[in-house]
Amino acid sequence: MTEPFDAVDVIRTKRDGGSLSPAQIDWVVDAYTRGAVAEEQMSALAMAVFLRGMDRAEISRWTHAMIASGERLDFSPLVASGARRATADKHSTGGVGDKITLPLAPLVAVFGVAVPQLSGRGLGHTGGTLDKLEAVPGWRAALSNDEMLAQLREVGAVICAAGSGLAPADKKLYALRDVTGTVESIPLIASSIMSKKIAEGTQALVLDVKVGSGAFMKDLGSARQLARTMVDLGTDAGVRTTALLTDMSTPLGLAVGNAVEVEESVEVLAGGGPADVVELTVALAEEMLAASGVPGADPAAALRDGRAMDVWRAMLRAQGGDPDAPLPRARETETVTAAEDGVLTGLDAYRVGVAAWRLGAGRARKEDAVQAGAGVVLHAKPGDAVRAGQPLLSLRTDTPERFARAREALEGAVVIEPAAPAGAARRSVVLETVR
C-alpha cells in the first residue's frame, strides 16, 4: 500500500508551528492505529503538539479521526421508540472522593432520560467508578451493547466498562503519551476525552472539570481552557455540551476509597450524605436534565423521596449486584488525630488521595488489584473547629504494613489555625459554568 503522506513531513509541519490539514490528521491517526506510523514518529508528533498546540479546527478534526478509528454506539432507538425522552451522559476529569456518578446516573434516569455511563478504573491518586461499584457483591462491569440497550430501556441507567471498539486510536495514543511526557497537553487531553464521549452516541453531555490540588488542572485558567475546548468539540459534533468547573482542593464528601464511597453514595440516595456531594450531584443533574429538554425538574426532591434509590437498586440488580449485601470492610484501621486546638483550614485533596492509593484503594499500574475496603474516612472538613486529640482521618486497609507510607503521604495535608481567616466561608463546590 502506498501511503499518501510521509510521517516526517507531518511532524515537521507541526514542529515548525504550522496547522495540520484535515487530510494529514485523518491519515496520521489512521496510519498510527494500523501500525504504518511508528511509535517513535507518533511520539515526536505528540511532543510537537504539546509544544506548538492546535487550533480549534485541528482539535475537532483530530477528535473526529479518533472516533472514526472505531465503532459508534447508537442509542437513538430508545428515544424513537418512546422508551426514553433523551440520552445524557456526564464525564469527570477525575478527583479524590469523586463518587458523583453513582448517585447521579439513577437520579437523572428518574426523569425519563437514559444515562449510558461508560466508566473507567482508577490509576494513581484518582479513583475509578468501576472499582467502586465492584465492591458491591455480584456486580459486573462488562456488558454487551445489546445488554446496555436493554438495561437503558428497562431501568434508564447503566454504569459499565467501555468496550474496546470505542476510539481504539485513543487507547493506543494515551499509552504512548503516558510514557513520553505529553499527557499535559490540552488539545490531546480534550480530544482523548471527547472522542470516547462522542462515540458513545449520547445527545447531551455535561463535563465536570475539577480544579485544585487533587485535580489534573491545578488552576482556574487551565481548567477554563480545557472546559472551553471540550465544550467546543462537543458542539462541533452536534452534542449539547456544558461544563462545570468544580473545586477539588479538598476531597469530595467524607469517604475516599471504593466500598466507603459506595456507602456514602447510598446515604445521598437515601436523602442524606455530605452537603458538598449532594450539591454537586444535584447541580450536574440539573444541567443534564436541562440539556435533555426536561427543564424545571427537581432532582433534589427525587433524592429525598426515594425515587433515585429505587433506580439505583434496579440498576445494581440488572448487573448482577445485590443492593442489600454488606459491603466489604477493611481488616485494619488507624486514626490520625488533631495536633492542636483550632479551626481546620486546609485538607489537601492530593495528599489524601495518595494516602488512599497507598492503603490499597488505588493502583500504580493498570494491572494491579485494588482492595475493596481500603481508603480514608474524614471526620472533619475545612471550616470545622477541632480539639487536640480529636480524630481527623481514619485510615483503612487489609495490609497494616501500608500504614507507614500512607502517613508519609499525609504529611502537610492538614492545616489547623487558631481561628478561621477573616471573611472565610464555605464556598460552593461549583465554581463556574462554561457553555
The three-state (H, E, C) secondary structure of 327-392, written as one string: CCCCCEEEEEECCCCEEEEEECHHHHHHHHHHHHHCCCCCCCCCCCCCEEEECCCCCCEECCCCEE
pLDDT of 363 over the 90 cut: no
pLDDT at 424: 66
pLDDT at 420: 84
Strand order in the sheet with 157-161: 157-161, 113-119, 86-92, 204-211, 240-247, 430-434
The catalytic residues are 91, 170, 177, 192, 196
Residues 6+ away with beta carbon under 8 Å from 240: 203, 204, 205, 234, 291
pLDDT (tens digit per residue) in 315-351: 999 999 999 999 999 999 999 999 999 999 999 999 9
CB 205 within 8 A of CB 234: yes
Q: Which of 426, 55, 430, 56 is CA-nearest to residue 209? A: 430
Q: Please state, in angstroms and as integers, the Cα–Cα distance from residue 117 to each residue in 43, 109, 326, 384, following that order.
A: 31, 11, 25, 35
pTM of the model: 0.95
pLDDT (tens digit per residue) in 64-73: 999 999 999 9
Q: Which of 196, 135, 191, 220 is CA-nearest to residue 398? A: 135
pLDDT of 425 over the 90 cut: no
d(CA 316, CA 23): 45
> What structural domains does the chain harbor?
7-68 (1.20.970.10), 76-318 (3.40.1030.10), 332-417 (3.90.1170.30)
Q: Which of 107, 116, 110, 111 is CA-nearest to residue 88? A: 116
Tell me the three cell numbers of residue 124: 494513581
pLDDT of 132 over the 80 cut: yes
Q: Which of 374, 385, 388, 373 is CA-nearest to residue 336? A: 388
pLDDT (tens digit per residue) in 19-43: 999 999 999 999 999 999 999 999 9
pLDDT (tens digit per residue) in 269-304: 999 999 999 999 999 999 999 999 998 899 999 999
pLDDT at 407: 98
Phi, psi of 290 (to 5 degrees): -65, -45
